[in-house]
Amino acid sequence: MSLPVAILAGGLATRLHPITEKIPKAIVDVAGKAFIIRQLDYLRQQGIVRVVLCLGYLGEQVEAVVGNGSAFGLDVCYSWDGPRLLGTGGALRHALPLLAEHFFVFYGDSYLPINFQAVEHDFFTKGKPALMTVLKNSNRWDKSNAVYRDGYVVEYDKRTPRAEMMYIDYGLGILAASVLDKLPVNEPFDLADIYHGLSTSGLLAGYEVFDRFYEIGSHNGLKETSEYFRKEEKE
Name the pLDDT band for 139 (thresholds 50, 70, 90): low
Cα 218 → chain centroid: 16
Q: What is the mean pLDDT of the chain?
A: 92
* Least confident stretch, 7-11, 40-44, 161-165, 173-177: 161-165
Give the per-residue pLDDT at 84: 86
Residue 210 DSSP class: -
Decide: 55 and 81 in contact? Cβ < 8 Å.
yes
Q: In sequence order, which ranges of 34-86 are alpha helices (DSSP H)?
A: 35-45, 59-66
In tens, the pLDDT along 29-46 reads: 999 999 999 999 999 999
d(CA 35, CA 28): 6
Give the per-residue pLDDT at 146: 94
Q: Model-level pTM?
A: 0.93
Give the per-residue pLDDT at 142: 73
Q: Where are the domains of the chain?
A: 5-234
Residue 134 has phi, psi (to 5 degrees) of -135, 150
Name the pLDDT band for 173 (thresholds 50, 70, 90): very high
Name the pLDDT band for 162 (thresholds 50, 70, 90): confident
d(CA 39, CA 41): 6
In tens, the pLDDT along 2-29 reads: 899 999 998 888 888 998 899 999 999 9
CATH topology for the 5-234 domain:
Spore Coat Polysaccharide Biosynthesis Protein SpsA; Chain A (3.90.550)
